[in-house]
Homo-oligomer: A and B are copies of this chain.
Amino acid sequence: LTSGKILRLGRILEPSENRAVIIALDHDSYAGPMAGLADPLKVLEVAAKGGADAVIVTPGTLLKHYKSIAGKLGVILRIDGGHTSLHPNPTPCSALTYTVEGAIHLGADAVVMMAYIGTEYETMSLRTLGYVASQCQECGMPLIAETFPTGEFSGKERLAEFVKLSARVGSAIGADLIKTFYTGSVESFKEVVSGCLTPVVVAGGSRMKTEKDALEVARGAVDAGANGVAFGRNVWQSCNPLGMVKALVDIVHKDKAVDKALDHIKS
Query: Chain A residues in contact with chain B, CB under 8 A?
Result: 1-11, 14-16, 26, 28-33, 38-40, 58-64, 66-67, 69-72, 75, 79, 81-89, 91, 93-99, 101-102, 104-108, 117-120, 122-124, 126-127, 129-131, 133-134, 137-140, 149, 152-153, 162, 164-169, 171-176, 191, 194-198
Contacts and interface: CB of A to CB of B under 8 A. Distances in A.
A83 B175 contact: no
A165 B86 contact: yes
8 contacts: A4-B106, A6-B70, A6-B107, A7-B107, A31-B165, A33-B164, A60-B172, A98-B173
Contact of A105 (B82, B138, B162): B138
A83 to B, nearest CB: 6
Contacts of A33: 164-165, 168, 191, 194-196
Contacts of A195: 32-33, 38
What is the oligomeric copy number? 5
A166 B75 contact: no
A88 B118 contact: yes
Contacts of A102: 134, 137-138
